[in-house]
Each structure stands twice: as C-alpha cells, then as structure tokens.
C-alpha cells in the first residue's frame, strides 16, 4: 500500500520537471469512457413540484415552516390530527420540499428525530412519561416520494439515520426507566428503514458509519453478573435487533471502505492543482481505478469536508502559472471516472456542491459533464441560501460566461424559479440586480423565462401553506 503511494508521490514532481518527449493528448479531446464498476446507488426520487409556495420560504437561518413544525417551534397548539391533515394537503399539492436545508445543513427530518423523544412534563402518578408525538408524525415526512433520506448536515456530516445512532443518550439506561427510549429508538429506525434508498456505508465527519456507531454502542454495554436487573440485557438485545434490521435491509451496501486508500487518494488529488496537465491522466486514472478496487470510497469526506469531486471542481488549489486549459481537461476526465464509480454529484462542502465550484472555475468541460447527470440537483443551497445558478450570476463575469449560461439554460425545467435565498431573493430578483452589471445578451433570455413563469403563476396560483 505504502509503495503505491510513494510511487505516486515521487512520480508527480518528477513529471512536472520533465520535458515530456511524447506528445500529450490535446486538451480538447473528447472525454473517454472508463470501465464502470457496478455499484448500488439510491433509487431515483420524484422531485416535489415546489413552485411558488409559502411552505418553502426560508428565514435568515434558512428554516422553512416544515423545519419549525418538526423542531417544535411552530404549530405547537395544533393537535396531531390537524397537523396530519395540513401536512398531507401540502404534500399532496406538491408544495412542500422536504429536503431544504437550513444554514447548518439540517433538514426537517434531522429535527424530527429529536422531536420523537419529547415527553410530557413529569407526573408523579405515572411510571413512564409518554412521548408527546406519535411515530406516525415522523412517518408522514419519511413516506413522501420526494424525501431524500441521505442528506447530511454541514458540520457532523450525518444523515437522519446516522444522527439517530450518534446521540449519546438513546441507549442510556438511566433514561430507559422514564421514557422507554429503546422502544422509541427501534420505532424510529423501523420507520426510516421503510425507505429503499438509504445509503448505509457513508461515513460521518468522524469517519464512522451507521453500523460502526451501533457496534460501539453494543460494545459499551457492561453486564455485571452481580446485577440482577434486566435493563442491561434489554438494552443489548434491542441494539442487536436494530443491527439485524439494518443488515437485513441491504446487505450489499454494508461493507467497510478502506480508509488508508481514502486518505492516500485524497493526498494525491490535492497535488493535481499544483501544475498537473493532461499528460498525467493515464498515471492518475490507473491509480484511481486501482484504489477503487482496493476499497477507496468515491464519496469520502476529508477533515476539510472535500470529496474527490469537489477537489477537482475547486480551483483554489491550482498553482499560479499552470496550463489552465490542460489542467481543466485533466480534472474533467478524472471527474468522469469518479462519477462512473459511484461519486454523488450532489454532495456538498458546507453547502457548496461541485456545480457551485465548477461554475467559478472556468472549466466548461466539467460544468457540461455535471449538467449531463440527470441526478444533478440544481436547487441545492449554500450556507447563504444561494443556489449554484444564483452565485453564477452574482459573481462570475468571464470569457466562459455566455457558454456556461447557455448550458445552464438547457436545464431550466429543473430549476425551482421561486426558491429564495436567506435574504428572500428568488432567481428573478437576482437576475434583475445584475442585468445592468453584465449587459450580456444571454441575460435577456433568462429574464424573459423568469417573467413568463411569474405571469403564468399569477393565473395558476398554487395553494399556499397556512402561516405558522
């Protein structure tokens, strides 16, 4: 393993210094198709028809009404039946996007996990304090076809299921006597596991998978032979039952990645921005393919929360004086290999997706590659609520502006034109702000499209959610 890394570490600076005798491949060459490894991926989810809906308006913290309902700060006086009826109507009308993230990266489902443990105030007449919210309240959210169970927050990098097993107190024996936490934890896990599209082998920010979290909890149970209480045994048995539920759900996705390969591959890719050009492709691509065979994770998140794909899309690590055209071509071809081997094009670095980075890199080839992916979500937001397209029009005015604008416009039907950033601006408002700044012909096409949709919406208004 170390020999492979040393060969690469030595080869990269050597190749930079060498005057290559063989002619290198032109940067404008067509991207070659690489052998594809069969990897199980989440099933495609139907996208919510979130046009102009008050449900999806976000405050300065990025929270929608749905966030507030499930974090317990909205609709506190409504009964469960009232909440169920209003939520069902909102989802039925296609008005609610359950996947919007706040400025910490949390979706409503992240908050819902903790909400499920809320109990009534202490009552000395009760042996156990009942839970306030029935498990059906969580099921309303989880059962939506457009719900994505794999969205991770920005800091801990945990999905709702990963978050469930990260709580230190869910298996706490002291809490068990009062709230039956074990029973509730099993109910929550069962509800989440109704989904067929959960990814089980992703690592969180501490490089721990779901099963590793459960195994650690199991190993922490100490059964004292002198203690005749049944509670430790009950706790251990419940954790083992949950583990069996997960293993039975999707065994082919539960395998450990090789973290040594992950870190070595991450280190090699950081060097790509130094002065690498297209002549490095065969060397780097062969190393990449070999790493995947040896267990490297195409979606591995380093401590700085960069994946291989975001490293390739971000040009901040590019060495001054590098051959930009050739370096961009190298990044694009390697990105294709990574995507073909299971890289998720929507994983973000603190809200910034590969598309956010690529649009600012002058790398038209990489933008084009990302936009060809049907699973690419153009409506994901950064920590200020801006989508990649909003940031593109706000900050980028270079030689590739017209071409990238045209490529983005081809995906206009996948854009939520009414989605707002945390300042309350939708895409139309952003376009209006910058139209005089750029004075570009392509801006008129975007403005005409946004006005057409606004006029259409005036005559075909969607049902809005009640005010919180």
Find the length of the chain: 468
One-letter-per-residue 3-state SS of 48-113: CCCCCCHHHCCCCCCCCHHHHHHCCCCCCCCCHHHHHHHHHHHHHCCCCCCCCCCCCCCCHHHHHH
The closest alpha carbon to 134, from 145, 119, 122, 144, belongs to 119
Tell me if residue 394 falls in helix, strand or coil.
Answer: helix
- Report pLDDT digits (tens) over 81-101: 999 999 999 999 988 999 999
**253 DSSP 8-state letter:** G
Could you give the CA distance from residue 190 to residue 187 in angstroms, rounded to a whole number?
A: 5
**Using CA atoms, how far apart are residues 75 and 65, in angstroms rounded to an integer?**
9
Among the CATH numbers 2.60.120.380, 3.30.420.60, 3.40.50.150, 1.25.40.20, which is that of 2-14+256-459?
A: 1.25.40.20
Q: What architecture is the 100-253 domain classified under in CATH?
A: Alpha Horseshoe (1.25)
What is the C-alpha separation between 158 and 301, in angstroms, rounded?
A: 12
Instruction: Give the mean model confidence (pLDDT) for residues 60-79.
Output: 95
| Higher-confidence position of 40 and 184 | 184
The string of pLDDT tens digits covering residues 106-155 is 999 999 998 998 888 877 776 677 888 999 999 999 999 999 999 999 98
Q: What is residue 170's predicted lDDT score, i.e. its pLDDT?
A: 60
**Tokens encoding 75:** 């609709």
Range 216-242 average pLDDT:
78
Mean pLDDT of 70-83: 94
Mean pLDDT of the chain: 81
Q: What is the pLDDT of residues 332-353, one digit of tens each?
A: 999 999 999 999 999 998 889 9
Q: What per-residue confidence (pLDDT) applies to 105?
A: 94
Residue 88 pLDDT? 95
Question: Nearest 5°: phi and psi at 377?
Answer: -100, 110
Q: What is the pLDDT of residue 8?
A: 58
The string of pLDDT tens digits covering residues 423-451 is: 999 999 998 888 776 666 777 888 888 88
Give the percent of the chain with pLDDT over 90: 43
In the prediction, which pLDDT does 465 show? 43
Domains 2-14+256-459 and 100-253 in one fold: yes
What is the per-residue DSSP string for 401-438? HHHHHHHHHTTGGG--TT---TTS--HHHHHHHHHHHH
Boundaries of every domain in the chain? 2-14+256-459, 100-253
Question: What secondary structure letter does DSSP report for 151?
Answer: -
**Rounded CA separation 365/325 (Å):** 10
Query: Rounded to an integer, what distance in angstroms lies between the CA atom of residue 87 and that of residue 92?
Result: 8
Q: How many CB atoms lie within 10 A of CB 194?
A: 12
Per-residue confidence (pLDDT) for residue 45, from 0 to 100: 44
Q: Residue 402 half-sphere exposure, CB side, CA atoms within 13 Å? A: 5
The whole-number pLDDT of residue 228 equals: 60
What pLDDT shows up at residue 83? Answer: 95
- Mean pLDDT on 207-216: 87
Assess whether pLDDT exceeds 50 at residue 48.
Answer: no
Give dist(CA 10, CA 5) in Å, integer. 9
**Residues 322-332: what's their mean pLDDT?**
89
- The neighbouring-strand residues paired with 387 are 381
Beta-carbon neighbour count of residue 20 at 10 Å? 9
């Amino acid at each position: 393993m170390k020999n492979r890394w040393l060969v690469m570490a030595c080869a990269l600076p050597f190749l930079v210094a060498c005057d290559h005798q063989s002619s290198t491949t032109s940067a404008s060459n067509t991207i070659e198709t690489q052998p594809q490894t069969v990897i199980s991926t989440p099933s495609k989810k139907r996208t919510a028809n979130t046009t102009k809906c008050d449900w999806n308006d976000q405050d300065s913290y990025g929270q929608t009404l749905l966030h507030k309902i499930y974090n317990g700060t909205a609709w506190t006086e409504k009964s469960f039946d009232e909440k169920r009826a209003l939520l069902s109507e909102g989802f039925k009308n296609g008005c609610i996007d359950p996947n919007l993230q706040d400025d910490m990266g949390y979706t409503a489902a992240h908050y819902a996990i903790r909400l499920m443990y809320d109990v009534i105030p202490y009552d000395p007449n009760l042996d156990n304090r009942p839970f306030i919210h029935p498990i059906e309240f969580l099921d309303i959210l989880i059962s939506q076809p457009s719900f994505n169970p794999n969205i991770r927050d920005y800091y801990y990098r945990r999905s709702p299921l990963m978050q469930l097993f990260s709580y230190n107190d869910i298996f706490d024996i002291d809490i068990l006597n009062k709230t039956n936490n074990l029973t509730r934890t099993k109910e929550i896990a069962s509800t989440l596991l109704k989904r067929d599209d959960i990814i089980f082998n992703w690592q969180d920010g501490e490089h721990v998978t779901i099963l590793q979290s459960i195994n650690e909890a199991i190993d922490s149970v100490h059964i004292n032979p002198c203690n005749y209480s049944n509670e430790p045994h009950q706790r251990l048995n419940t954790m083992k039952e949950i583990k069996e539920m997960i293993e039975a759900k999707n065994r082919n996705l539960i395998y450990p990645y090789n973290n040594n390969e992950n870190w070595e591959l991450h280190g090699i890719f950081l060097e790509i921005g130094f002065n690498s050009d297209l002549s490095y492709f065969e060397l780097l691509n062969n190393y990449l393919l070999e790493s995947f065979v040896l267990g490297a994770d195409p979606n591995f998140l380093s401590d700085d929360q960069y994946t291989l794909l975001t490293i390739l899309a971000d040009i901040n690590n590019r060495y001054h004086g590098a051959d930009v055209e050739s370096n961009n071509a190298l990044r694009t071809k390697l990105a294709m290999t990574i995507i073909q081997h299971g890289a998720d094009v929507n994983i973000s670095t603190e809200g910034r997706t590969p598309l956010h980075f690529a649009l600012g890199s002058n790398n038209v080839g990489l933008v084009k590659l990302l936009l060809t992916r049907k699973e690419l979500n153009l409506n994901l937001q950064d920590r200020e609520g801006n989508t990649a397209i909003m940031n593109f029009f706000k900050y980028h005015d270079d030689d590739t502006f017209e071409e990238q604008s045209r490529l983005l416009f081809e995906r206009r039907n996948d854009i939520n034109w009414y989605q707002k950033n945390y300042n309350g601006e939708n895409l139309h408002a952003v376009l209006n702000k910058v139209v005089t700044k750029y004075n570009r012909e392509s801006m008129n096409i975007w403005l005409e499209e946004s006005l057409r949709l606004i006029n259409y919406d005036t005559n075909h208004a969607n049902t809005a959610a009640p005010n919180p």
